[in-house]
Amino acid sequence: MENNIKCSVHDCLYWDNGSCSADGIEVMVSDGSQIAGSELKTACKTYVNQRPE
């Protein structure tokens, strides 16, 4: 499904050559609050580690 989401997280199950192959994603504030203040404090909750240790 074409979703126009670019991503650079290579170890995510949904990562596909620079794009996200998930049908949709959920983004949250990294610390669990609701105010990020910076893009650096946001995180993709849909991420799945394709290489779990």
Q: Which residues bind ligand SF4 (CB under 6 A)?
A: 5, 7, 9, 12, 14-15, 20, 22, 25, 44, 46-47
Task: Quote the least distance from Cβ 23 to ligand SF4, whole Å.
Answer: 10
Task: Quote the least distance from Cβ 2 to ligand SF4, whole Å.
Answer: 13
Which whole-number Å values give the CA distances from 28 to 2, 17, 31, 47, in the listed order?
22, 23, 8, 11
Which whole-number Å values give the CA distances from 36 to 5, 8, 25, 32, 33, in the listed order?
20, 20, 17, 9, 8
Task: Quote the least distance from Cβ 9 to ligand SF4, whole Å.
Answer: 4
